[in-house]
Structure 1
Amino acid sequence: MRRAAREAVMRHYRTLSDAQIVEKAPDDLVTVADRKSEALLSEGLAAILPEATIVGEEAAHADPAILDRLGDSLCWIIDPIDGTHNFAHGRPPFGIIIALAEHGETVAGWIYDPLKDRLCHARRGGGAFVGEERITARTTGENPPVAAISVMFMDEAQRHAMKRHIAPHYTLTDIPRCAAEQYPRLALGTNDVSVFERTLAWDHAAGALWLNEAGGMAARLDGSAYRVDDRRTGMIGAASPAMFDALAERLNEA
């Protein structure tokens, strides 16, 4: 991950030309750095575990059929630059995310912030770490709790429900447009809860595992576990199971 950050990501940070940024879909960008990072990461991961399938964000965009491999016996999942919109505009946060899944269940995950040189990582049943330090999720201690809610991919009815039924119970804060930053915020005392509508595997597999291993809770709105081969939308991340339950109950009533 550090090699990809050094040779692909940071080499292009704040030096991208317009020709090196492409809009894949409205407000969804890809850069030459994303593609180079994914190539380097794919090469390295294939050498570590050659029997595993590799599903990268950019490869899946080029060939959506690759998504059918997420439930394979072993699968590497790559987000070569999470937070590309920020990166392309020359501002933080952004990061690199890798997860390893087994039959659709995440068993290990890594989230790397190249600007902070911060590596968040977790193994199923092995706890959550920032670098060498094992961490336990903590709340902000604020009342009302701090919520980062992404409404970018919600329809108008969902946005209205959030504004009317959810917002009054929380102190709302801006989202970072970067799962590689949002998950650490949920565990490290910056945010208490977050709602995600789009739940793509490369964005959430590593972070959900890491937050759960830290003692927080990341799951579907009905409390079921997040799986990389589940294409449903909607997910909650919370600094504690109690905060997850409170938000899930309000969402069910909205």
Structure 2
Amino acid sequence: MTRALDTAVAALMRETAEKTLLKHYQRLATDDVTNKAADDVVTIADTESEIMLAEGLSKILPETAIVGEEAAHADPAIFERLSNKLCWIIDPLDGTNNYAAGKPPFGILLALAEKGETVAGWIYDPLTDRLCTAHRGQGAWLNGERLTARTSGADVPVAAISLVFADPTRRASLLEHIAPHYTLVDIPRCAAEQYPRLALGQNDVSLFERTYAWDHAAGVLFLNEAGGKAARPDGSPYRVDTHLKSGLIGAASPALFDDLAERLARI
């Protein structure tokens, strides 16, 4: 079942990327981009990708509910499906701001959840054809090869700390009490890029304020299955049906997670 599911989902992601994301990449007209919220946009590629993915996933597992980012934005009642027995979670174009500016990174994130817990996840980068996959209890895989998370090896751990959605007080506290203990790097504003960076030795830790299911369900499972650790700052597991809570740590190792969690608990 796992292999057949991976094959079907991978084919759907690649076909969708080719027919929607790559079709419009660096070719967007002015009216192809609209403001969705402050500092957030949606493009024609988001919409087309979500429609195609939802239709394809409903054929792969017809009994499964679907929560797509754009559909949920239009109708918040869709969030209730995250607690269903089975639920597909779709981020049709992660990193939309980058995409709209005509630059990488961006990607597709898909996850399958069971009663609020992620049981499978797929992270696809259309520009490099990088596909990260994970199934609960079965490890993490990168383009078909088993992956074990590794740290950067830097003397001072490398951190990508998202301050975009932190309020001014929180932002100041993080900069004063957390940032000095790390080598800070820019965030990619793309979870489909950030989680692979944590597993591949590019970044050691990352801190997220906003934790929507479509952004994090696949990545959290992937990083944990690779041997890193992604969880709430208090150590509790990330659940898709509590995705409106704030705060999430991703780390290349449990030790790095614990160190950052302890620092956060003191501020």
TM-score bracket, normalised by the shorter chain, equals over 0.9
After TM superposition, list the pairs within 5 Å mapping 1:139-218 onto structure 2: 139-218=151-230
Q: Which residue of 1 aligns with 2:40?
A: 28
Q: Which residue of 2 aligns with 1:62?
A: 74
Cα distance in 2 for residues equivalent to 1:69 and 1:135: 31
The CA deviation string for residues 180-217 of structure 1, in whole angstroms up to 9 with x for no partner, is 00000000000000000000000000000000000000
Cα distance in 2 for residues equivalent to 1:62 and 1:163: 35
Whichever residue aligns with residue 162 of structure 2, its letter is S
Q: 3-state SS of the aligned residue for 1:144?
A: coil
After TM superposition, list the pairs within 5 Å mapping 1:224-239 onto structure 2: 224-230=236-242, 231-239=244-252
Cα distance in 2 for residues equivalent to 1:47 and 1:185: 32
Cα distance in 2 for residues equivalent to 1:27 and 1:3: 29
Aligned residue-pair number: 254
Q: 3-state SS of the aligned residue for 2:24?
A: coil
Matched, 1:246 2:259: yes
Cα distance in 1 for residues equivalent to 2:74 and 2:40: 14
Matched, 1:114 2:126: yes
The CA deviation string for residues 116-165 of structure 1, in whole angstroms up to 9 with x for no partner, is 10000000000000011000000000011000000000011111111111
Indicate the percent of aligned positions where both proteins have the same amino acid: 67
RMSD, aligned CA = 0.4
Higher helix share: 2
Whichever residue aligns with residue 156 of structure 1, its letter is P
Cα distance in 2 for residues equivalent to 1:233 and 1:159: 14
TM-score w.r.t. length of structure 1: 0.99
After TM superposition, list the pairs within 5 Å mapping 1:82-93 onto structure 2: 82-93=94-105
Cα distance in 2 for residues equivalent to 1:198 and 1:83: 14
Q: 3-state SS of the aligned residue for 1:199?
A: coil
Q: 3-state SS of the aligned residue for 1:229?
A: helix
Q: Which residue of 1 aligns with 2:26?
A: 14
Cα distance in 1 for residues equivalent to 2:210 and 2:154: 27
Whichever residue aligns with residue 161 of structure 1, its letter is S
Q: Which residue of 1 aligns with 2:5?
A: none
Cα distance in 2 for residues equivalent to 1:68 and 1:177: 26
Q: Give the unaligned 5+ runs of structure 2.
A: 1-12
Cα distance in 2 for residues equivalent to 1:203 and 1:11: 23
The CA deviation string for residues 197-246 of structure 1, in whole angstroms up to 9 with x for no partner, is 00000000000000000000000010000000002110000000000000
Cα distance in 2 for residues equivalent to 1:252 and 1:161: 12
Q: Give the unaligned 5+ runs of structure 1.
A: none
The CA deviation string for residues 60-109 of structure 1, in whole angstroms up to 9 with x for no partner, is 01101100110100000000000000000000000000000000000000
Matched, 1:48 2:57: no
TM-score w.r.t. length of structure 2: 0.95
